[in-house]
Amino acid sequence: MRIVKADRALPEVKRGAPVKIWVDGKQAEAFLGETVATALMAMGIRQFRKTRHKGQPRGVFCGMGICYECLVTIDGVENVRACQTTVQDGMEILTGEGTIE
């Protein structure tokens, strides 16, 4: 869920241009300048992958590209950090099983 309206406690929300992305085969809207992690969380997706060996759920943990918990597949490239990658129009994102533990 995105903040859509400012109030006294929150400054005006400024976003980039809207773009269309594909997440697990479903079309979604995101905004230029957002990270893939932000777009996924705005869609209500909190689990980005499961570990390969134990099947444990993973999502955003550090949010700054250190922990490898938010790995997804983007445009066919596996193990991309969702928290460090900005969305692009037409981007295809797959969540699911990770290739590292």
| pLDDT (tens digit per residue) in 5-18 | 667 787 777 889 99
| pLDDT (tens digit per residue) in 76-99 | 999 999 999 999 999 999 998 655
Q: What is the model's pTM?
A: 0.85
State yes or no: pLDDT of 49 exceeds 60. Answer: yes
Which string of DSSP letters, residue by residue, matches 14-51?
----EEEEEETTEEEEEETT-BHHHHHHHTT----EE-
What is residue 4's predicted lDDT score, i.e. its pLDDT? 67
- CATH fold of 19-97 reads Ubiquitin-like (UB roll) (3.10.20)
What is residue 82's predicted lDDT score, i.e. its pLDDT? 96
Mean pLDDT over each residue of the chain, to the nearest integer: 89
Q: What are the structural domain ranges in the chain?
A: 19-97
